[in-house]
Structure 1
């Protein structure tokens, strides 16, 4: 029985193809019960790799079944047929994803970015409070509903965090996600705190929202890592970002995992809170983000051939760096990250890894 016939028996009229990978595809469909269109991810067990079937798919199904948040794509139904196909019926992002939105319309104004980022951060807090981590946060996985509200999707790399006997979260060792959004500790192959990894990705997403470009050029992973570990964040001067916005991004893109913001600190940050405006230099310096209390944390970037980058097409300001110890980048991670695809974000580079360890779930976005 083909997919259309299977879905018809379950009350869905199959529509167009939304995406397709090597062992999964996503179709639109009309639900006769719900009376609106949905997205259906169809996974073929016969074509899927063993590690995906044994580890990632069961995790995704378990987590999708337990999540219920207004800013997370709803899962309406999950069923499987005797011939080994799994059907996941989900909410449809009718306005596409955030990456396409920004590529079409350019960077968001801070008020619009604040609203969308608050929705995303609320969804991440909900997940983290349940000890669920996403581990693949990126603009392609942020869908937009009819009113352009954020809907977090694609939990193919998500997992439930484990705790040791003392109640502390255990570290993860699996490389997940896209190099452009991955935290330095993940790219280096260091066992990492998965919740803290999600925060770095949030920082990259907010940067893209308000700048319309990537914060780092991932065409050279070693160079990117060096810049990240020096805690350098360059902002386009043409965007005229507020100090509060730059401060939040700077604190999320913190290479020291012990100093990177937690999700509660993000939600309570003055930029995210619409009524708590006006960030003083003292507040910025309180956590030691600036080495001199008498200077602002962002100064004009030095010029020179060493500073040229494909992702820096405009004059930028640079957040004051902090000294970070050199850590050897694992060669196998470099090879993984080099397998990249240019997506193009406002004429700037936006690459993502196509291969990870272990093999990625379906290359489709719902």
Structure 2
């Protein structure tokens, strides 16, 4: 029985193809029960790699079934057929994803970015409070509903945190994500704190929201790592970002995992709170600590200004995008953003490798 017939029997009228990979595809469908369109991810067990079937798919299904938050894509139904196909029926992001939104409209004004970032941060707090980590936060995985509210999607690399006898979260050894959004500890291939990893990716996302470009050039991982470890963050001067906004980004893009913000600290930051103005927590100095004697406009010698605007340029061959940052009389720096979260697209960055097992895990190549 083909997919359309299977879905029809379950009360769904299959629509257009939204994406397709080697062992997973996403279709739109109309739900006769819900009376609106949904997205259906269809995974073919016969084509999927063993490590995905044994580890990542069970985790994703378990976590999707337990999540219920207004800023997380809803999962309406999960079922499997006798021929080995898994169908995950989810909320449809009718306005596309955040990357496409920024490509079309440019960087967001801080007020709009604040609203969307607060929605995303609330979703991450909800997950972290449940000891669930996402581990693949990026603009492509942030869908927009009809009112352009954020809906976090793609939990293909998510997991429940394990704790030791003392209640401490055990470090993760599965290195996954997209290079441009990956924290330096992950890029270096060392065991990492999964919740702290999510925070770095949040910092990259907020930077993209307000700047319209990537904070780091991931075409040269070694060079990018060096800049990250020096805690250098460059902001386009033309964006005229507030000191509070730059302060928050700087604190999330903290290479020292022991000093990187936690999700509760992000939500209580003065920039995220719309009624609180002024850097009450103090601007960051070059070591990243608070200092009330430093004005927001001169946060740090490591937080510098770029003189030109960075724009998002679409590429024809795929949804993977290049965020180009062009400086006058300087070469153009291409910054690749991977759309897919499967291992193939990240092999060159040595991500998505299982430290203990050796074989790179894969997740469904096309996510909603």
Secondary structure in structure 2 of the residue aligned to 1:48: coil
Query: Which residue number corresponds to residue 359 of structure 1?
Result: 361
Q: CA deviation at 1:313?
A: 7.8
* CA deviation after TM superposition for structure 1 residue 359, in Å: 2.6
Q: 2:322 corresponds to which residue?
A: 344
Task: Tell me: CA distance 1:108–1:5, structure 2 relative to 1, closer, same or farther (3 Å).
Answer: same
Q: Does 1:252 align with 2:252?
A: yes
Structure 1 residue runs without a partner (length 5+): 304-311, 317-339
Match of 1:79 in 2: 79
Aligned to 1:36: 36
CA offsets, 1:137-163, max 9 Å, x none?
000000000000000000000000000
Task: Tell me if structure 2 keeps the 8 A contact 1:290–1:297.
Answer: no
Matched residue, 2:117: 117
- Judge conservation of contact 2:20–2:365 (CA < 8 Å) in 1: yes
Q: CA deviation at 1:14?
A: 0.2
Match of 2:194 in 1: 194
User: How do 1:186-335 and structure 2 match up within 5 A?
Assistant: 186-279=186-279, 282=282, 284-285=284-285, 288-289=288-289, 293=293, 296-299=298-301, 314=308
- Point out where structure 2 has 5 or more consecutive residues left out of the alignment: 311-317, 326-333, 339-344, 354-359
Q: Contact 1:341–1:354 at 8 Å: present in 2 too? A: no
CA shift in 2, pair 1:274/1:212, >3 Å: same
Distance 2:57 2:79 in 1: 13
- Map Cα deviations across residues 18-68 of structure 1 (whole Å, 9 max, x no partner): 000000000000000000000000000000000000000000000000000
Shift of 1:282: 3.9
Query: After superposition, where does 1:20-169 map in structure 2 within 5 Å?
Result: 20-169=20-169
Q: How far has the Cα of 1:288 moved from its partner? A: 4.6
Q: What is the TM-score normalised by the length of structure 2?
A: 0.86
Q: 1:341 to 1:223 in 2, by over 3 A?
A: farther
SS in 2 for 1:349: strand
Would you say how many aligned residue pairs link Structure 1 and Structure 2?
Answer: 335
Q: Tell whether the 8 Å contact from 2:229 to 2:255 is kept in structure 1 after alignment.
A: yes
RMSD across aligned positions (CA)? 2.4
- Quote how far apart the aligned CAs of 1:284 are: 3.7
CA deviations 1:165-215 (Å, max 9, x no partner) are 000000001111100000000000110000000000000000000000000
Contact 1:26 1:41 in 2 (8 A): yes
